[in-house]
Amino acid sequence: MNKPSEVVIVGAGIVGAACAFELAAEGLRVLVIDEGFPSTGATGAAMGHIVVMDDSEAQFAITRYSQILWDDLCDQLPAAVEFDPCGTLWVAADEEEMAEVRRKFDYYRERGVNAEILDSQQVRDAEPRLRAPLTGALRVPGDSVVYPPCATGFLLQKARELGARIIHGRPVAAIGAGTVRLADGTVLAAAFIINAAGQSAPQLSRGISIKPRKGHLVITDRYPNFLRHQVVELGYLKSAHSLTADSVAFNVQPRKTGQILIGSSRQYGAQNSTVDESILARMLQRAFEYMPDLNSLSAIRVWTGFRPATPDKLPLIGPSPEDPSVLVAAGHEGLGITTSLATAKLICAQILGQRPAIPVQPYLPSRQMTAEAHV
Amino acid sequence: MDSVKHLRFDVAVVGAGPAGIAAALAAADSGKTVGLIDDNPAAGGQIWRGAQNVQRHSVSAVWLERLNKSAIQLVRGARVFHAADGELAAESDDSAIQISYGKLILATGARELYLPFPGWTLPNVMGAGGLQALVKSGLDIAGKRIVVAGTGPLLLAVAAYARKCGAKVVGICEQTTRPRMARFGMKMMLVPGKAAEALHFAYELRGIPHWTDCWPVAAFGNRRLESVRISRQGQTSEIECDYLACGFHLIPNVELPRMCGCQLKNGFVDVNEYQQTSVAGTYCAGEPTGIGGLELALVEGEIAGYAATNWEDRAKHLFPKRARYQTVVRILKAAFPLRPELKNLARPDTLVCRCEDVSHERLCEYTSWRAAKLHTRCGMGPCQGRVCAPAAEFLFGWQIDSVRPPLYPVRCSSLAAIPSHSVPRN
């Protein structure tokens, strides 16, 4: 007979997998349960960037911390994870966006993140496929890219080697008060339960708010050396901030396979995973505006996914407002691949009663209760 | 940026094989505008590929001549990669094409099932239909030694064709059992025209060994095929050859029908007696409704063409003819079920997905197609899983994903030109 688990993690996306690895490494008996197969939810649909972001101090703190953790891990990552330290190029199309380049540069420099400002000519040299002229860009060389399903598989494998058990194809019906009840009636006891169920997390932990934000992605055939960096338009900051309107932004990634991944779109209220032709066309047109040569590349696949988004764009990491025996690790929106590792560290610190490397307050789920009270 | 062409037809027919040609001709009888769309440079489909060069008065020549004389607009070299809201999106070499229609007839045909066994990826190991298509496109096989393996009457047709082209057919390996084969022969004698066809093949293939309970276990060769090891009634032996042509059943091309919203039944498009699918105004004919061969495809096509132009009487008139050929579907199904031994041919290191080099052993740890695909990249290459997904379905019993645009790899510009409607469909 297996000993009862000390920690049951619900959800084997990248966040659940990172938590499993971290907690197993601390010597805890861990069980991961997923309703499907690992990383077939938002993780499987994600672009896979590991990127430092600065929408808020809290977002910067968790993305930066995570990036350092990924860099520490990168030597261990097998080839299938496709870790590529390609860096990010934030491109500015006008003076307003160039001002943002300078602001971002100062912000990163003050916090020890390596970055450099490129002028129009330097942008062309860095990424010859970009249309000319662009005003400039910010290059962040420390950013990287992974293939999320295999990154998740790697974390689960490490957890397994440390004694964790992983069960898949078993939906969870309810969690709380130290027990996990599966849809088939099985009841499991655990000292700690981690709700890492992504967009399904609110069904298991009442009192938290996560809304699916639909996205489309296109992947091309193999075109080695077509692209060097992940490239994102700074107009993205304008469009991605909108909490209601559908938006598209130019965001391309070179994959280790030589393929080009083209994004991105954001839609609230879209429940259906069908490809939406009009937003797909808008997204591609936007990409062609920045990188005209993309239009003749062969597109192999289009897919959609749902980012688990919170109203304040920060993940939920910490005790559930309704049941402190449940720790929520969900709501990572479009940054789950990046922030999975720091999330696991913060969850682990809370379970072990240790002091975390970064303050946990901004991510505590209880903040949503307070925010609601103010509405 | 590519140009975008707009076409509008009363009746649009996708697929210019026998079913599509028959459907288009029947529909054109009404005087309505008919468009026949195909991704090949010429009409004829897989079976009549290169038929322009065959003798006059053959079945194919007669149909192709009728097509040439008709008012049907043949849209060649256009691949339909998306369908939504009553419009098709296609791509040709130089443009994106938007096609709107009153009625739609889907005659998308079938492709071959490839089963992985050690050596199946060696050059000169190919599909039986694939070899035939290559020869029709100019591959010279005169004097070459060919082993034809797999199941069903396609093997006979391919062997006969290869011999006619001067190849030495070393043997035909039929995986089904001898009693099944014998029952098949007797039953087919009762189908009109099939007795003559059987005699014709018997004559054409005289002297060529036709083994039952026989299948390829491995192919060998240094850089290209040199020999094949076969299992024959429990004994293995090795045969030297230049080509191995494998035909393990046909798989209906149901991707476009599915994208149009047509319901399937047991893997085939579900149609009513007028060949109408579950989507009103959308019809389907030929192999996607059941693997039944040329004659059935032709009559189904005609029925669909008449029904789509409100000529129910004419359609009805053809029902008895169709019923006769539908018995072929049942006879084929009963005679050539794939034997379970074929699931065990692949070794751990045998590739299942050749686009992404995914071996059999890597797939074994997964429980679903989607999980296997995400974690191993199986089916993620340019063939979009057309080859490995049906193999995985046979080997592991997995259900294959939903269909999404693009159905074929297309230029990003064509994808951006998909007709989009202001009303969101979510």
CA–CA dist A128, A123 (Å, integer): 8
The domains of chain B are located at 3-111+251-333, 114-248, 346-418
Integer Cα distance of B47 and B74 in angstroms: 18
Q: Which residues of A touch B419 (CB under 8 A)?
A: 277
Return the ∠ at Cα B109 (arms to B30 and B46), rounded to 5°: 100
Residues of B with CB under 8 A from a CB of A: 1-2, 82, 84, 366-368, 370-371, 374-375, 380-382, 384, 404-406, 409-413, 415-422, 424-426
B426–A36: do the CB atoms touch at under 8 Å? no
- Mark yes or no for CB contact A280/B406 under 8 Å: no
Nearest to A122 by CA among A114, A113, A132, A112: A132
DSSP notation for A241-289: T-SSS-EEEEEEEE-TTSEEEEEEEEEES----S--HHHHHHHHHHHHH
- Write out chain B residues lying below 8 Å of A288, CB-based: 1, 412-413, 416
Q: Which residues of B touch A220 (CB under 8 A)?
A: 412
Q: Is residue A324 part of a domain?
A: yes
**Which strand (E) or helix (H) includes residue B346?**
none
In a domain, A57, yes or no: no
- Coil, strand or helix at B168: strand
Q: Which of A173-177, A290-294, B399-403 has the highest mean pLDDT?
A: A290-294
Over pLDDT 90: what percentage of chain B? 79
* pLDDT given at position B267: 92
Looking at the structure, tell me whether residues A340 and A270 fall in a common domain: no
A302 and A366 fall within a common domain: no
When pLDDT is averaged across residues B345-366 and rounded to a whole number, the result is 94
Q: Compute the distance between CA of residue B204 and CA of residue B199 in angstroms, rounded to an integer.
A: 9
The whole-chain average pLDDT of chain B stands at 92
What residues of A are in contact with residue B405 (Cβ under 8 Å)? 275, 277, 302
Amino acid at B64: L
A225 and A200 within one domain? no
- E strands in chain A: 7-10, 30-34, 49-50, 88-92, 116-119, 136-140, 144-145, 165-168, 172-176, 179-182, 187-189, 192-195, 211-222, 230-233, 247-254, 259-268, 298-309, 316-319, 326-330
Tens-digit pLDDT profile for residues B76-124: 999 999 998 889 999 999 999 999 999 999 999 999 999 999 999 999 9
Mean pLDDT of B121-140: 93
**Which CATH superfamily does the domain covering B3-111+251-333 fall into?**
FAD/NAD(P)-binding domain (3.50.50.60)
| Amino acid A374: pLDDT | 45
Whether A292 and A343 share a structural domain? no
Task: Tell which of A255, A284, A309 closes a domain.
Answer: A309
- Residue A58 in domain: no
Please list, residue by residue across A64-83, b when 16 or more beta carbons sit within 10 angstroms of its beta carbon and e when fewer do.
bbbbebbeebeeebeebbbb
CB contact at 8 A, A9 and A16: yes
Query: What pLDDT score does B56 carry?
Result: 64
Rounded distance, CA B131 to CA B124, Å? Answer: 9
CATH number at A299 reads 3.30.9.10
Q: Check if B3-111+251-333 and B114-248 are the same fold.
A: yes
pLDDT at A155 over 90: yes
3-state secondary structure A74-118: HHHCCHHHCCECCCEEEEECCHHHHHHHHHHHHHHHHCCCCCEEE
pLDDT at B137 over 90: no
Q: Which domain holds residue A248?
A: 86-142+211-309
Of A59-63, B154-158, B242-246, the range with the lowest mean pLDDT is B154-158
Report CB contact under 8 Å: A276, B374.
no
Give the DSSP per-residue string, B255-313.
HHHHHTT--EETTEE---TTSB-SSTTEEE-SGGG----HHHHHHHHHHHHHHHTT-HH
- Residue A245 to residue A268: CA distance in whole angstroms: 7
Interatomic CA distance for residues A223 and A255, integer angstroms = 10
Residues A36, A131 within the same domain: no
A76 in any annotated domain: no
CA distance B276 to chain A (A): 25
CATH of the domain at A356: 3.50.50.60
Name the domain count of chain A: 2
Residue A281 domain-assigned (yes or no): yes
The per-residue pLDDT for range A3-32, each reduced to its tens digit, is 677 999 999 999 999 999 999 999 999 999
Reported as a single tens digit per residue, the pLDDT across B64-74 is 999 999 999 99
Identify whether the C-beta of residue A224 lies closer than 8 Å to the C-beta of residue A246: no
State percent of chain B over pLDDT 70: 96
Query: What value of ipTM does the predicted structure carry?
Result: 0.92
A114 and A130 both lie in a single domain: yes
User: With an 8 Å Cβ cutoff, are A301 and B416 in contact?
Assistant: no
Residues of A in contact with B381 (CB under 8 A): 300
Return d(Cα A152, Cα A166) in angstroms, integer: 12
Amino acid at A375: V
Shared domain check, A234 and A126? yes
Position A1 in a domain? no
- Among B2, B84, B404, beta carbon nearest to A302: B404
CA B133 vs. chain centroid, Å, equals: 12
Confidence of residue A1 (pLDDT cuts 50, 70, 90): very low
* Helices B194-204, B154-164: crossing angle, 10 deg rounding: 50
Specify the CATH architecture of the domain B114-248: 3-Layer(bba) Sandwich (3.50)
Helix (H, G, I), strand (E, B) or coil at B225: coil
Structure letter (DSSP) for residue A205? S
Is there a single domain that holds both residue A195 and residue A162?
A: yes
Asked whether residue A99 falls in the same domain as residue A244, the answer is: yes
Residue type, B244: L
Q: Is residue A42 part of a domain?
A: yes
**Is residue A363 in some structural domain?**
yes
- By percentage, how much of chain A surpasses pLDDT 70? 95
**pLDDT number for residue A143:** 98
Give yes or no for residue B134 having a pLDDT over 70: yes
Partner-chain residue, chosen from A37, A150, A297, that has the shortest CB–CB distance to B412: A297
CB atoms within 10 A of CB B143: 9
- Asked whether residue A114 falls in the same domain as residue A222, the answer is yes
